[in-house]
Structure 1
């Protein structure tokens, strides 16, 4: 089952129909995403399930319903095993951003981490799960597909928040601090922990 977030509410892509409780079922093939988004905005609805026939075609079918924005980001560890967080829009987040034309996604992730935080000397250790979320820009909904990478750095210079991107703070957080920060973060970021 694939999950796409709208704010912190999930849209599940599945082949299994379940009796509705605090969620609504829709057929993926014919669904009007405006209806789905309006349904998700209701307080008593905690999720939407889009039902398809073939497990391996669910995500492909969904991706065709919205413009896709490809992004790369990093869960970066320093030599003290602390994790790099950014603070933007009153939420803790991980550095990430949109891929440029013909840019390899690993290069996007490292470039965005450095631009948003000032942290360099990055090395990708492993690939993390891809996350999906829907957001609205200039009155249009888009699907952000973020490719995440676990990174390591020996960088110990000053952290520099990218103010023009709305980032007001950058910090290295230990496990306890990261857990606390995740209580004021996004659902798709929590999936990476």
Structure 2
């Protein structure tokens, strides 16, 4: 199963039929995806399943129906055990951005972290899961696939927010305070922390919901 977020609302790609009273089921092969996404944005649909019996084909069929943008980002921890956050568009987020020509995804992730925050001396320690969300650009709905990496740094210099990317703040956050910030963050970011609590050696509390 894959979780795709549209306006922070879940759209699931699944190969299993379940009894869910609050969710609508659609056939992945025949769905008018652009119409369904529009219904998410106008609030007439809040959650749904797209069904296909072959789990190995779920993502491929879905991606064939929509323009893809690939991105890389970092969940960065310093030597004090603090996590690097940015504040953009009124929410707390993690640094990430689109890949450039001839870049590996690891290079994209490290470059974007440095450009958006000023944090240097980055080292990738682990590859995390991908996240999926849909956004609108130039009148077209697109799927952003973000490849996330756990990173470590010994950087102690000044951080700066990349204003041209709409970033207002860049801060190091104590792990004990992460759950507070996540109350004003995106579902994909909450999902990322929720699935990596043990690795971060912290407990992340998020409101009840479907992640």
TM-score category, normalised to shorter length: over 0.9
Aligned to 1:51: 51
The SS at the match of 1:128 is strand
The SS at the match of 1:192 is helix
Aligned ranges for residues 1-193 of structure 1 at < 5 Å?
A: 1-19=1-19, 21-41=21-41, 43=43, 45-193=45-193
- Normalising by structure 2, we get a TM-score of 0.88
Quote how far apart the aligned CAs of 1:43 are.
5.0
Aligned to 2:196: none
The SS at the match of 2:188 is helix
More displaced 10-residue stretch of structure 1: 114-123 or 183-192? 183-192
The SS at the match of 1:55 is coil
More displaced 10-residue stretch of structure 1: 62-71 or 41-50? 41-50
Between Structure 1 and Structure 2, how many residues are aligned?
Answer: 193
Contact map agreement 1:17 1:51 (CA 8 A) in 2: yes
Quote how far apart the aligned CAs of 1:20 are.
5.1
Unaligned runs of 5+ in 1: none
The SS at the match of 1:75 is strand
More displaced 10-residue stretch of structure 1: 44-53 or 162-171? 44-53
For the aligned residues, what is the CA RMSD? 1.3
Query: Structure 1 residues 42 and 163 mapped into 2: Cα distance closer, same or farther (>3 Å)?
Result: closer
Query: Structure 1 residues 58 and 73 mapped into 2: Cα distance closer, same or farther (>3 Å)?
Result: same
In the aligned structure 1, how far is the partner of 2:19 from the partner of 2:101? 44
Contact map agreement 2:7 2:41 (CA 8 A) in 1: no
C-alpha distance after superposition, 1:47-106 (max 9, x if no partner): 110000200110111011111101000000001010000000000000000000121000
Unaligned runs of 5+ in 2: 194-211
In the aligned structure 2, how far is the partner of 1:70 from the partner of 1:160? 25
Aligned to 2:199: none
Contact map agreement 1:23 1:45 (CA 8 A) in 2: no
Query: Structure 1 residues 3 and 72 mapped into 2: Cα distance closer, same or farther (>3 Å)?
Result: same
Quote how far apart the aligned CAs of 1:41 are.
4.0
